[in-house]
Structure 1
Amino acid sequence: MVVGHLPGRGKYTHMLGALLVETPDGRRFRIGTGFTDRQRRHPPGIGSIISYRYRGETRKGFPRFVSFLRVRDEEPARQ
């Protein structure tokens, strides 16, 4: 679930730099690649459920080399 938008730098000034996301088990991490310029201008809203790809995990269990794939068409889980 998207919990924040982080600002871009350089080429992406005034656009999305990365999404701050949270997994269902509470782990938070950033996703900064895989977006089109249009998605960077109009990022997924806070609370949106997204899909992402990653390659492996860190020693602490966080996804490594994460890339954004798409916004999912489902409601966020209520806590």
Structure 2
Amino acid sequence: MLRNRIKLTWPLFPLAFLYSCTAEQIYTNVQDDHIRQCRLLPVWQQEHCLSLNDTSWEDYVRESQTAATQSEVD
């Protein structure tokens, strides 16, 4: 229910800019945007909001590799 109230926005970058970004830069931008969106919520909801997307870069890479491997199998 809370997740529905949080509208995560993807910054509208020109495609050339996205192409020049590393995966880690894109990950950082998405995380920063999520934090900004959480800070717009009432104080009592911010901690929960932040915990919804609390993934380290290493975990993100591992999950991405797992998903890529799984899609190759399917």
Q: Is the TM value for this pair above 0.5?
A: no
Larger radius of gyration: 2
| TM-score for the superposition, normalised by structure 2 | 0.21
Taking structure 1 as the reference length, what is the TM-score of the superposition? 0.20
Larger helix fraction of residues: 2
Structure whose residues are more often strand by fraction = 1
